[in-house]
Chain A
Amino acid sequence: MSAPTVLVVDDHQLFRAGVKAELDGLVEVVGDAGSVEDAVPAILAREPDVVLLDVQMPGGGGVEVIRQVLRSRPAQRFLALSVSDAAEDVIAIIRAGARGYVTKTISTPELADAVRRVADGDAVFSPRLAGFVLDAFAGSLPAQVDPELDQLTTREREVLRHIARGYMYKEIALRLGISAKTVEAHVSAVLRKLQLSNRHELSRWAVERRLVE
C-alpha cells in the first residue's frame, strides 16, 4: 500500500514545519495551511487521505474547518491534534466529525501509525480521549434513551479501559482474546456513538461549543 497523503492544518508555523519534517518518509505530506480560511480550499483542492487538524485556531478552530469541508466533501477524514486537555474541546471536535484525537506530544512512529489507521477508516483514540469517553458515558441514564446510541456495551467499555491504561490495539486483542480487527470495530462503534449520542453530558458539551442550536 502506498503511503497515505496528509495535509497539515495548524496556526503555528513552527509546529507545521516540525510535523512535516517528522513525518517525511513515513507518509506523504501534500500541503499545509495556517488558518481556517486557507485550510478549506487547500483541502478541497488537494484531497488528502487525512487532514492533521489543530483543534484551537483563530476563526472557529478545527471544528469550523471540519464543518465547511464536510459540506462539499463528506468523506474527508480528519485526525485532531492538540495541546488541549479540555474535555469539551476534544469531545467537540470528535462530534464535529474527526476520526480520532491525539496530543501533540505523541511520538513520531505513533503519529504516523495513527495517520495510517485514520486513512484506512479506523478510529484513533488516545488514552486521554478514551478516559473522556468513559467519563461521558458513565453514570445513570435519563429515562428515554436509545441504548443503541447512548450506552456502551461491556466489550466496548473493556476496550476503552485498556486504551486508557496505555495498551495498543494489538495488545488489547491479545489480552481479550479477540482479533485486532474486532478491537478496531469496537473503537469505530464507540466513535459512532460519540458522534450520534444524545447523552446529557455530550449534548451539554456540544451546546457549549455551539455545535447544535
Chain B
Amino acid sequence: MTGVSVQRAQPALRREPEGAVIGGVCAGLARRFGIPPLFFRIAFLAASVGGLGIGLYALAWLLMPGEGARGRLALRLPGGRASWQVAAGMALLVGAVLLLFRQWGIWIGDALVWPVVLAAVGAALIWRQSSPAPGHRGPAAIRLPPDALGRIALGAALVVGGGLVFLYLNDALAPARDVILAMVVILVALSLILAPFWLRLGRHLAEERGERIRSQERADIAAHLHDSVLQTLALMQKRADDPRAVAGLARRQERELRAWLSGGRPPGSEATLAAALEAAAAEVEADHGVPVDVVAVGDAPLDTGAEALVAAAREALVNAAKFAGGPISVYAEATPGHLQVFVRDRGPGFDPDAVPDDRRGLRESIVGRMARHGGRATVHTGAGAGTEIELTLEAR
C-alpha cells in the first residue's frame, strides 16, 4: 500500500465578479494567494496616491480573465443599459485621472495623449465585441448581429479618428514626407481592428482540434470494443451448446476488459509478483478452461527468486487444472523478506508417494525448483479433501 497524497491545485488567477467592489481584481488576487482581499484593496489605494495604482488596477482588469470568461483581453461588461452606465462611469473616471496628471505635469503632451485615449476607447469597443457568447460555433459566429456591427463601426471610426487627430496635431497630414508615418499609424489601427477576429479564429481552431481528439478517442474505444467484446459475444453465440467453452470465453474476455479498463499494462511486462501470478493464472485459465481466482496481499518486485516462485506456482496450476478441474484458488502473500503462494483445488486429492517417478511435474518443476532457489514446497492433500500446494521463499 502506498499513500497517495493529492496536492490541491492552486486556483487560477481570475477576476472574481462575486466578491467585486470595482472589477473583482482584488478578490481574484486574494483567492489566488489565499489572503483576505482587504490587503490588496489597501495596497491598491495606497499606490493610487501617485496615480500608479489606478493604472495598475486598470491593467490588471484588462489582463485577468473574468470568472469563467473565455477571453483575457476582453472587458466583459454586463449587457443592456447597465453596460452603458458602467462605460460612461469608466470614461469619466479615466478622464478625471488624465486631467489630474495633466494638472500635476506628468504629461507627455496633448498631441499624443488625447488621440491615444480616443483610439483606446474605439479599440475597447471592438475588443469587447470580439468575445462571442458561448454556443456560437464555426463560421456562423463571424456574422454579427446588427447592433454589434454598429458598435464595431463606431469603434473603428474612433480608432481611425484618433489616428487622424494624432497626425493632424503633429502636422503630419499635409506634408507628403510624412506618408510613412501615416502608413504606420494606419497599419497599427488596422491591426487593432483585425486582431480580435484573428484571435477568435485561432480559438475556434483550438476548439475544433479538441473536438477531433475527443472523437478520435471515441473511435479508439469503439474499435477496441469491436475487436474484443463484440468478437467474443459472437463466438459465444456460435458455441452456445458448449457451456464450458462459453464460460471460458466469458472469463477470458472479462480479464482482458478489466486489464484494459484499469489502464492496461501490455502483456509481457509484468514486473511484480502479483502481476506475474495474474498473468500465469490467465494463461492456465485460457489453456485449460478452468476458472482461476488470484488474491494477492502485498506485492514484491519480480527478481530471480520470485520468478522461480511464479514458475512453480504455474506448474501447480497446470497440475490442478489437469487432474482436479476448477475452480482453483491462488493466494499470494508478500511481506518484506517472505513470499508465500498457495495454489488450491477442490479435486479428489492424491497420494504424493504414489506418483510415478516419470511424472516430473511435482518433483522437478515444483519441489526441486523451489529448493534450488532456497525455498520449499509443501503439498497438503488427502483423498476427497482437494490439494493445496504451499510455496514459500525467504529472502536470503
Residues on A lying within 8 angstroms of B by beta carbon are 85, 105, 127-128, 130-131, 134-136, 138-139, 161, 164-167, 200-201, 204
CB distance from A148 to the nearest CB of B (A): 22
- B: number of interface residues (CB 8 Å): 20
| Contact partner, A127, options B291, B329, B335, Cβ 8 Å | B329
B180 interface contact, C-beta 8 A? no
A30 to chain B minimum Cβ distance, whole angstroms, is 30
Cβ B297 vs Cβ A134 within 8 A? yes
Query: Is B3's CB under 8 angstroms from A164's CB?
Result: no
Which secondary structure dominates where chain B touches chain A? strand
Is A127 within 8 A of B293, CB to CB?
yes
Residue ranges of B at the interface with A (Cβ–Cβ < 8 Å): 1, 3-4, 258, 291, 293, 295-298, 327-329, 331, 333, 335, 342, 344, 346, 388
A130 x B1 contact (CB < 8 A)? no
- The reply to whether B258 and A85 contact each other, CB–CB distance below 8 Å, is yes
B331 to chain A: which residues have CB within 8 Å? Answer: 127, 131, 161, 164-166
Partner of A165, one of B3, B327, B342: B342
Shortest distance from the beta carbon of B21 to any chain A beta carbon, whole Å: 33
Nearest-Cβ distance from residue B94 to partner chain A, whole angstroms: 49
Find chain A residues with CB under 8 A from B329 CB.
127, 165-166
Q: Which residues of A contact B1 (CB under 8 A)?
A: 135-136, 138-139, 201
- Cα distance, A128 to B327, chains bound together (Å): 14
**Chain B residues whose CB sits within 8 angstroms of the CB of A134 once the complex forms:** 297, 333
Q: How far is the CA of A108 from the CA of B327 in the complex (A)?
A: 14
Q: Which of B4, B295, B388 contacts A128 (CB 8 A)?
A: B295
A127-B295, A130-B295, A204-B3 are known contacts. Are A161 and B333 too (CB-CB below 8 A)? yes
Known: A127-B331, A138-B1, A204-B3. A166 touches B293 (CB 8 A): yes
Dominant secondary structure of chain A at its interface with chain B: helix
- Residues from chain B with a CB closer than 8 A to the CB of A136 are 1
* Bound Cα distance A139, B336 (Å): 10
A93 CB to nearest chain B CB (Å): 18
Kindly list 4 other residue pairs between chains A and B, CB separation below 8 angstroms, not including A134-B333, A167-B344. A105-B291, A131-B295, A139-B1, A166-B327
Note all chain A residues with C-beta closer than 8 A to B327: 166
**A166 to B320 Cα, complex, angstroms:** 14
A-B contacts, 29 of them at CB < 8 A, read A85-B258, A105-B291, A127-B329, A127-B331, A128-B293, A128-B295, A130-B295, A134-B297, A134-B333, A135-B297, A135-B298, A136-B1, A138-B297, A138-B335, A139-B1, A161-B331, A161-B333, A164-B331, A165-B329, A165-B331, A165-B342, A165-B344, A166-B293, A166-B328, A166-B331, A166-B344, A166-B346, A200-B3, A204-B3
Q: Which residue of A lies closest to B1 (CB)?
A: A201
Report the minimum CB–CB distance from B325 to chain A (whole Å). Answer: 14
In the bound complex, CA of A138 to CA of B333 (Å): 11
Q: Which residues of B contact A128 (CB under 8 A)?
A: 293, 295
**B16 CB to closest chain A CB, in angstroms?**
26
Q: Verify B295–A138 contact, CB threshold 8 A.
A: no
Shortest B312–chain A CB gap in Å is 16
Q: How far is the CB of B316 from chain A (nearest CB, A)?
A: 13
Which residues of the partner chain A approach B296 to less than 8 Å between Cβ atoms?
131
Q: Within 8 Å CB of A166, what residues of B?
A: 293, 327-329, 331, 344, 346
